[in-house]
């Protein structure tokens, strides 16, 4: 499937044929809670085509939006299966699709282009800057 020029909210095909992001993004948009694809689907959108079958969809969301975004998604039938600390990430499942949502923190007065994701790896803390 060629996804060049396809806006993320227009992608409605099953996960084996294209990203099922429209429903997730629609809920986030109703809340005015911006979300960003990360991981494999983000790379596919960047490349303009689906490069492989995906087992999940990875997202970034602002940490301040996380509680209400999670509540809205759960109200729409997503199931919380989070095992990571809830202040860093939420994992939700709907049907066969896992959605991993990692939080971004903004410095006071900063825009999302300078958001920071925090996490933990085996050798210590991990900080990623979204540019």
Q: Which domain CATH number covers 39?
A: 3.30.460.40
Q: Is residue 2 part of a domain?
A: no
Please report which helix (H) or strand (E) contains residue 118, including its range.
strand 116-121
Q: Is residue 65 part of a domain?
A: yes
Indicate the pLDDT class of residue 111, thresholds 50, 70 and 90. low
CB 93 within 8 Å of CB 79 = yes
Number of domains in the chain: 1
What DSSP state is assigned to residue 31?
T
Over the stretch 45-65, which tens digit does the pLDDT of each residue have? 778 888 888 888 999 999 999
β-sheet bridge partners, residue 116: 105, 129
Least Cα distance to 52 among 16, 99, 81, 97 occurs for 16
Q: Which domain, by its residues, includes 68? A: 8-129
| Percent over 70 (pLDDT), the chain | 68
Q: Is residue 1 part of a domain?
A: no
Over the stretch 74-97, which tens digit does the pLDDT of each residue have? 999 999 999 988 888 999 998 888
> Which residues, 6+ apart, have CB-to-CB distance to 114 below 8 Å?
106, 107, 129, 130, 131
């Amino acid at each position: 499937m060629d996804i060049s020029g396809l806006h993320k909210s227009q992608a409605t095909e099953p996960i084996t044929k294209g990203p099922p992001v429209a429903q997730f993004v629609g809920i986030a948009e109703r809340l005015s809670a911006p979300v960003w694809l990360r991981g494999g689907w983000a790379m596919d959108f960047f490349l303009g085509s689906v490069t492989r079958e995906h087992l999940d969809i990875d997202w970034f969301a602002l940490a301040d939006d996380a509680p209400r975004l999670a509540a809205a998604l759960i109200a729409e039938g997503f199931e919380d299966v989070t095992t990571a600390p809830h202040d860093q990430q939420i994992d939700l499942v709907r049907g066969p699709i896992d959605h991993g949502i990692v939080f971004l923190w903004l410095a006071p007065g900063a825009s999302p282009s300078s958001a920071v994701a925090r996490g933990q790896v085996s050798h210590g803390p991990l900080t990623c800057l979204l540019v």
